[in-house]
Amino acid sequence: MLRLQSFSVGTAWFYCGTKCLKMIGLKQYEQCNIMWLYFCRHQVLRIVAKDVTQLPLIKDLEQFTELDFWTYVNNVENPVDIRVPAHSLQYVKRYLETHGIGYSVMIEDLMVHSYNILELKHALIDGKQNSSLSVVQIYSFQDQLVAENPNLVSKIVIGQSYQGRDLNVLKFSTGGSNRPAIWIDTGIHSREWITQASSTWFAKKIVTDYGRDPALTAVLNQMDIFLEIVANPDGFVYTHTNNRMWRKTRKPNTGSSCVGVDPNRNWDAGFGGAGASSSPCNESYRGPSVHSEPEVKAIVDFVKSHGNLKAFISIHSYSQMLLYPYGYTYTPAKDKAALDSLAKTAVADLRSLYGTSYRYGSIIDTIYQASGGSIDWTYNQGIKYSFAFELRDTGRYGFNLPANQILPTAQETWLALLTIFSHVNNNPY
C-alpha cells in the first residue's frame, strides 16, 4: 500500500519563495503569494497503463486526496494525468515503478509553468489579450455588450451562487416569446479557464456576425441562444485568489473540513453511481443530494421553466473531444446515431481551420463512466441535442493553456458550434 508522507514546510517554502522571486523579480515580489507558492515543485505525471490489469492499480491512487486527477482512469487507450505535490512525488513514482506502470513528466514544476502562462488571465473581450479574465471583468463585459446591442442581447439572472454572486446569462434573441432555444455554459469546472475566455469571444462573435453571417443569422431569426459564461463564479474567483487548480463549488460540506462539490456530478442522472465520489474531499464529490448546489439548481430550474430548449451544450477542457450521452450508463442513447453523425460533422468543421483533431462519441465509451452529469440530465429531459465539449489541449499544458491559444481555440470551436446550431435549427423536433 502506498503511503504519502507528511511534509516539513520550512526549507521548502524558503526554496520556493527564493525561486519565485528569482523568476519574477523583486519589483513584483507581492505576486509570490500563497497561491503560486503552493504549486512549487508540483509535477503533472502522465500515466499510461500497458494493459487492463494495471487500471485498478492506477485507480487505487484516487484514494489519496492530495493527488489531483486531471484526467481519470478509464481504459488503456486514454492516459491518466495527475498533479502530484512535491512531498508525494518520490512515493508515487516508486509505486508506479514497483508495479511496472509507465509514466512521464508532463509538467516539471507547476508554479513555474503557471506563472509562465499567466497571460491566460487575459480574455479576448475586445479582441486583444489585455483584459483581466475575472468575474468582475466578465460581468462588466456582459453589461457593456447588452448596452451596445439592446435589440439583440439582454441579461437575465437565473439565481445566485452559494457566496451570493449573480448567475448571469446572456440571451441573444431577435424577438418573440419562448422560442426554440440553444443553451451554452462554460466554466462549470472553475479551473478550466480556456472555456470562460472562449465564451467571451463567442458572445462578441454573435453580435458581430448577426446580419453578416447567413448561417448564424438564419439561426437567430428562428431561435434564441442563452450563454452562461461563468457557471461556477465562486470557484472561478477562488482560482484567482487562492488555488489556481480549484475545480468544485465553494459551498461548505456538513461534517467535513473539505469544501465544495463537483457541479458536474450533482445532476439527477444516475446520481451517486460509478464515476462520482461520496467523499467531500474528492475532486469528483457528488454532493449530499441531487441539485444541492445553487449553481446547478439554477440551471435546472431555468431548463424546466423555459421548456423549449432544443440543444444544451456544456463546454469544458481539456482533451479535445465532443461528447454526447450517456456517461452514467452503458445503455446507448436512443438518438445515438443522430448525435454521432452530428458530432462527426462538427469536429470535421472544427478541424478544417487549424487541423486540430477531436475525438467524438458517448461519454462512457470515449472517456470514462461518470454519473450525475449535466448533459445526461438534459437529454433525459428531452433535449435531444445535448453535447459536452472538451477543448484544447491533449495534456501538454492541461488547464494552463497559453494565451496565444485562446483565439484559435475559440475560433475553431465556434465552427463546431455553428454546425450544431444550424443542424438544430434545420431539424426541428
Ordered per-residue pLDDT tens for the chain, 429 residues: 444 444 444 445 555 556 555 555 544 545 555 555 667 778 999 999 999 999 999 989 988 878 888 888 778 888 999 999 888 899 999 999 999 999 999 888 877 666 655 544 444 455 554 334 789 999 999 999 999 999 999 999 999 999 999 999 999 999 998 899 999 999 999 999 999 999 999 999 999 999 999 999 999 999 999 999 999 999 999 998 888 889 999 999 999 999 999 999 999 999 999 999 999 999 999 999 999 999 999 999 999 999 999 999 999 999 999 999 999 999 999 999 999 999 999 999 999 999 999 999 999 999 889 999 999 999 999 999 999 999 998 878 888 888 888 899 999 999 999 999 999 999 999
Distance CA 295, CA 276 (A): 18
For the four alpha carbons of 419, 375, 309 and 171, in that order, the dihedral sign comes to: negative
Residue-wise over 39-71: b if at least 16 C-beta within 10 A, else e?
A: bbbbbbbbbebeeeebbebbeebbebeebbbbb
Q: Which residue has the cell 442513447?
A: 333
Furthest C-alpha separation in the chain: 65
The alpha carbon of 399 is separated from its chain's Cα centroid by a whole number of angstroms, namely: 9
Which residues are catalytic, by number? 390
Domains along the chain with CATH numbers: 28-126 (3.30.70.340), 135-426 (3.40.630.10)
Does residue 52 contact residue 77 with C-beta atoms inside 8 Å? no
pLDDT at 112: 64
Distance CA 106, CA 110 (A): 10
Distance CA 383, CA 89 (A): 44
pLDDT at 422: 99
pLDDT at 310: 99
Beta strand segments in 274-391, E: 309-317, 321-324, 359-362, 385-391
Coil, helix or strand for 308? coil
Tell me the C-alpha to C-alpha distance, in Å, between residue 397 and each of 5, 10, 113, 364. 28, 29, 8, 24
Q: Output helix, strand, coil percentages for the chain, rounded to the nearest 5.
A: 40, 20, 40
For the four alpha carbons of 118, 119, 122 and 124, in that order, the dihedral sign comes to: negative
Q: Which residue has the cell 484544447?
A: 392
Helix (H) or strand (E) holding 197: helix 193-209
pLDDT at 158: 99
Does residue 333 contact residue 383 with C-beta atoms inside 8 Å? no
Vertex 333 angle, CA 331 and 337, to 5°: 120
Does residue 73 contact residue 55 with C-beta atoms inside 8 Å? yes
Tell me the C-alpha to C-alpha distance, in Å, between residue 134 and each of 44, 111, 116, 138. 25, 20, 19, 6
pLDDT at 14: 55
Written as nine digits, the cell of 250 is 465553494
Number of Cα atoms under 13 Å in the Cβ half of residue 48: 8
Does residue 41 contact residue 107 with C-beta atoms inside 8 Å? no
Tell me the C-alpha to C-alpha distance, in Å, between residue 126 and each of 236, 302, 359, 413. 21, 29, 31, 18
pLDDT at 75: 80
Distance CA 245, CA 114 (A): 10
pLDDT at 107: 84
> Among residues 126, 82, 127, 161, which one has the least CA distance to residue 399?
82
Question: What is the amino acid identity at position 202?
Answer: F
Written as nine digits, the cell of 310 is 432544443
